[in-house]
Amino acid sequence: MVGMEKHLLFLSFLLLFSFVHPRFASAEGTNDRSEQWGYVEVRPGAHLFWWLYRSSYRVEDPSKPWPVLLWLQGGPGGSSVGFGNFGEIGPLDENLQPRNFTWLRKADLLFVDSPVATGFSYVEDESLVVKTDYEAAADLTTLLIELFNGNETLQKSPLYIFAESYGGKFASALGLTALEAIEAGKLKAQLGGVALGDSWISPEDYVVCDLQPLKDLFVLHNEDSHFCLVTHCCICTIMKFSWGPVLKVMSRIDENGLNQSNSLALKIQQQLAEGKLENATATWSDLERVILLYSNNVDFYNFLLDYESNSAAVTESRIRSNRYIERTSTGAGAANGGLGNLMNGPIRKKLKIIPVNVTWQGQGSLVSAAFVGDFMKPRIEEVDKLLAKGVNVTVYNGQVRISP
C-alpha cells in the first residue's frame, strides 16, 4: 500500500515535472565539447534551437570572468544560427573558412534561432508562433534556465545579450525578463549587459522625427534639406522625415520619390498616434517599396550601394528588409541562396538532430506575419528600466544603414 502511494506520488511528480519543466528534446555536440547544440521544448510543441561555441581563446582570470555572449538576429524571424554565426561573428564564414575576427576571441558564443519558427527552430502547430517581443523573451528565458541552471561554469560567466536590428527589441525585453528570473531565483546566471546594434527599438523615430533640430548640430546645410545628427534619431531633418530627405540629398531618389516617401512617413505617424499598429506596419512596407522603386533598389544596409552591387549583403538584406513584400509572394523566405544551401546541406548533416520536415529558412515567414502588431511598437522604456536597474546597455550603430 505504502509502496503504491509512493509510486503514485512519483508518477504525479513526473507528470507535474513534465508540464512545468522545459525539455531538452535532443542535444549533440563535437567530441571535444567545444561545440554543443540542441533543442529546448520551451512550451509543449514549441522548439527553440541553440548552438553554443566554447572559445579556445578562453583566459581564466578570476577578476574578469570569461563572458558568454547570446546573439539575437533581426527580422523578426532572421536566423541567428545562420546569419549571425556564419555571416557575421562565428568561427567559420559562409564558405566554411575560418573567420579571423570571430568574436570567439573575446567570448563563448550562444546562437539561438528565436522566436520559434525561425531558422532550425520549429513549432508543431502554427498557433504556437509568438506575436510579441515579450512572448519571444519568455521563451528565451525558459531556454536560458535550461542551459544555465545545470552548469556552474556557465553560471560564473557574465551573460551579454547582443542583438542587431529588430533583435534590439528582443534584447531589451529579454534583458528585463531574464533579470526578473534571476532576481526570483529561477535563472542562475549573471547578466553582464545588453548591447543593441542598429536596433529597431524606436520605429517611429526611424521614419519621422519630432525633435526640433538645434542649429549648431547641423553638419550639412543646403537649400532643400537641412539635417543634423542627434542622439536616437540618426538623421533628423527640419522636414521631420528621416528616410526620404537623406536619400534625396545623396541623389538616391528624386523629388517625386521624396514626396511620396514623406507622405507615407506622415501616414505612419498618424496611424501610430491612433494606435493602429498593424496598419502602420503595412504602411511601413509601402514606404520601403516606394524607396526601392525610386532608388533603383538601394541597399537598406548601406545606402551607398544597390542590392546588385553588394553581393555579400544581398542575401540577408533582401530577405530581411523586404520581408513584408516577400510575404505576399509565393515561397516567402525561400530565396536564401548560398546560405540556405549551406544550412540545409552540410550544416544540417553535421547537426544530426534537425527533424526531417524542418527546413532552415533565412527569414521565418510565419514569424514576420505574426509580428505585424508588435513590429512598430517601441521598446525604449525597456532600455530606461534596464539602466535604472544598473544594467550596462551599449548602443552601437553604423552610418550608412537606413533600415532595421
Ligand X SMILES: *[C@@H]1O[C@H](CO)[C@@H](O)[C@H](O)[C@H]1NC(C)=O
C-beta of 230 vs 313, nearer to ligand X: 313
Give least dist CB 11 to ligand X, A: 26
C-beta of 210 vs 255, nearer to ligand X: 255
Q: Give the span between the Cα atoms of 23 and 17, in whole angstroms.
A: 10
Closest CA to 246 of 273, 233, 227, 267: 227
Q: Give the span between the Cα atoms of 377 and 394, in whole angstroms.
A: 21
Residue 252 has which C-alpha cell?
Answer: 538616391
CA angle centred on 109, ends 106 and 114, rounded to 5°: 145
Question: Do you find a cis peptide bond into 115, omega within 30 degrees of 0?
Answer: yes
C-beta of 87 vs 307, nearer to ligand X: 87
Q: Give the span between the Cα atoms of 149 and 134, in whole angstroms.
A: 21
Contact 203, 375 (CB under 8 A): yes
C-beta of 154 vs 209, nearer to ligand X: 154
C-beta of 153 vs 311, nearer to ligand X: 153
CA angle centred on 124, ends 121 and 130, rounded to 5°: 65
Give least dist CB 217 to ligand X, A: 25
Instruction: Give the Cβ contact number of residue 304 at 10 Å.
Output: 12
Closest CA to 199 of 133, 265, 254: 133
Give least dist CB 81 to ligand X, A: 16
Give least dist CB 398 to ligand X, A: 20
Q: Map residue 197 onto helix, strand or coil.
A: strand
Which residues of the chain form contacts with ligand X (CB under 6 A)?
Answer: 33, 54, 100, 108, 122, 124, 151, 153-154, 193, 255-256, 259, 276, 278-279, 282, 355, 357-358, 390, 392
Give least dist CB 10 to ligand X, A: 25
Give least dist CB 7 to ligand X, A: 30
C-beta of 117 vs 235, nearer to ligand X: 117
